[in-house]
Each structure stands twice: as C-alpha cells, then as structure tokens.
Amino acid sequence: MQTVFTILLLLVLSSQSLHAQAPPASPVTVSVVTQKEVRKPVTLVGNVEPLRKSLVSAEISGIVVEYPYAEGEYVEKGQVIARQNGSRLKLILNEAINTQNESKARLKLAEDELVRMNELHDKGIVSKSQLDNAVSEKDALLARQKLLQSRINQYQYDVSHTNIKAPFNGYITEEHSQVGEWLDSGDNVVELIDIDTVQIKVDMPEKYVHMVRKGEEVIITFNSLPGQEFTGEIVSIVPQADQSSRAFPVKINLDNKGHVIKSSMSARVSFQLGETVEVKLVPKDALTDSNGVKMLFVVRDGAAVPLPVITGLEHEDRVQVEGEVNVGEQVVVRGNERLQPMQPVNVTSEIE
C-alpha cells in the first residue's frame, strides 16, 4: 500500500514539475489555410540589357589629354569623362573677344559721328550723301558686332565641349580612344550603360503571347544570384515574331538600384501561363526554416503544432504548401519565430 502511495505521489510531483516547466501561452496572429485554383508558371530564359546604352561622341575635333575615369567605373550625369586639349580654341576665343572690343570702340565713334552729322545736316552744312555715308558706316560696324558675337558664342561653345560629360548616370564599359589620340567631331569616346533599371528580353512562344499583358508582374531569378528572387514588370510586347522561331519579344523592366544585376546576365522569367491546378495556400510569413526544412506552426487544441511542408507555386502574397496541414486550419503568421513545439498559444488576431 505504501509503495502504491509512493508511486502516486511521484506521479503528482512529476506532473506538477512538467506543468511548471511548460512555457506560457504566447500571443500570435494567425491566418487560415485556403484552397485555390492557380496557374502553373511557364519559365523562359531571357537576357539582361541596360535600360540605356550610349556611345558618347566628341562634338569637336581635338587631342584627348585625360580620361578621369577608368573602364568599369560609375559616373554621374554631368561628370567629365574625357578632356580634349582646348588651348588653341582658347587663343582663338581671346582673339575674337579683343577684336570685338576694338569694334565696339569704333561703333561708338560711328554712333557719335552720326549724331553730329544729323545736326550738321539739319543746319544745311553737310549734304544728304554725307549723312547717308555716316549711317552706312554705323550700320556696317553694328553688323560686324553681331558677326563677332556669333563667332564668340561658337568658340565659347567649342571650348566648353572640350570637356566631354556623361549624359546620364552609368558605368563606363569601354574607351574607344587613348590619351594623345586625335578625335574628329563625331568620333566615339566611351561606351556608357545605365543599369539603375535593367531590361530583360525574352522570346515568348506563339501559343502564350495572347495571355500576357503590358503592366503585369513576373518573377525573375538568376543562376548567378542563388536564393534571390525579383519582381519585374512587362513594359513591351513586340507584335512582330521572329520568322524562324515564331517567338515574340517581350521586354520586362526590373529595378536595380543596388546594381547587383549586371548587363548580359542570363535571367529566368516565370509567367503565370500554364494549366490551372488546385492547391493549398498559406501566407509566406507563416513559413519558418529549421535546418533547411520549411516548417509551419498549426494551431491545434490551443497549441502550436510544428509541421514540415514542401512549398510550390506562389500566388500574390501566398505560397502553395504540401504536407499534413488541412484547408481551414489556422497557421501562425506573426509570433512564430519565438514559438516552441507544442507551446500553448493565445490567438490575438486573424488576417485574411
């Protein structure tokens, strides 16, 4: 009898000890597992291109004296990317300015002379022919002033363009000349690409092209950037197919402010164009990772039950899951990062 009593006492004490060690109920936000028909993705391979690409050319002739930036460096709009020798142009400009100053002085004398000739003509001292000559002299000097100013403007323009500037933000990918080389007007100086936004071009098979729309979002991944996923927007569907492949060029813009995506990278673009399938969906925030295994916490009998799942298709902010989770069950979407298996939970809110 005493032995039975001892066993019962040990069981009670053990139960109390386990109860004391059990974690307290944790407040969580949940969402319901839903079922929906979604389209399987069709994945096509595309090529990354810069949004803008320019061969920056020289506007004037001259010798290259400096490249402030090397190939591969990033420059901002307006920064000098090459300098030409402008010494001769500056001498010509100064000569034109001096000539103009001289002409201004002569024009001032001609204007004063015209005033005097008008007074003398009114008094009958000079003839009409002499007055006309004074007017012609003043008009000729005024026209010369305009001609000299036009030349000065041209020389000033040429001098300012000995500094060749970047037309937009971008990377210098190639220099087309060397320091000491003579450039004629129109010769290429550098190649500049803008990858703040990149464009991905894919060839869309004829059977799918009627299913895509401008403005739709697509999912993009890169073999060179494992584990990263990007969202791009369809900006163009070219209505002319390639004659041999019968594929239509589709262009997608992708924000690339961090410049992690480089020009000419290979991209995998997923379009939701395949056959429809019925799947179980949970919010992406419901997923946790345990040593590389995707997990969900399902609320059952007031406790957080951990379940391993396999993820699949994505639909808006939800993802397909396969496993022993049932449609209509509650899964934890907030507070799951601190949960322990079988820990009691207190559902404070539910999101759709």
Give me the residue spans of the domains in the chain.
24-38+278-351, 41-52+194-275, 86-161
Contact assessment for residue 114 and residue 126, using Cβ atoms and an 8 Å cutoff = no
Contact assessment for residue 181 and residue 36, using Cβ atoms and an 8 Å cutoff = no
- CATH of segment(s) 41-52+194-275: 2.40.30.170
The per-residue pLDDT for 22 is 56
Q: Cβ-count burial of 120 within 10 angstroms (0-12 exposed, 13-18 middle, 19+ buried)?
A: middle
H helix intervals, the chain: 2-21, 87-122, 128-160, 206-209
Q: Which residues contact 347 (CB under 8 A, 6 or more apart)?
A: 28, 29, 30, 299, 330
Contact assessment for residue 100 and residue 152, using Cβ atoms and an 8 Å cutoff = yes
Is the pLDDT at 12 greater than 80, yes or no? Answer: no
Q: What pTM, to 2 d.p., does this model score? A: 0.61
Q: What number is the average pLDDT over the span 210-223? A: 92
CB-side neighbour CA atoms (13 Å) of 129: 0
Contact assessment for residue 191 and residue 174, using Cβ atoms and an 8 Å cutoff = yes
DSSP 3-state assignment of 168?
A: coil
What one-character DSSP code corresponds to residue 162? T
Whole-angstrom Cα distance, residue 117 to residue 127? 9
Q: Cβ-count burial of 271 within 10 angstroms (0-12 exposed, 13-18 middle, 19+ buried)?
A: buried
Q: What number is the average pLDDT over the span 169-190? A: 91
Confidence class for position 235, pLDDT limits 50, 70, 90:
very high
Is the pLDDT at 6 greater than 80, yes or no? Answer: no
pLDDT digits (tens, 9 = 90+) for 97-143: 998 888 888 889 988 888 888 888 888 888 889 888 888 988 988 89
Q: What is the mean pLDDT of the chain?
A: 88
DSSP 3-state assignment of 200?
A: strand
Domain 24-38+278-351: which CATH number of 2.40.420.20, 2.130.10.10, 3.30.70.1450, 3.40.47.10 = 2.40.420.20
> Strands 26-32 and 345-351: what pairing?
parallel
Residues in the chain: 352
- Angle of helix 128-160 relative to helix 87-122, nearest 10 degrees? 160
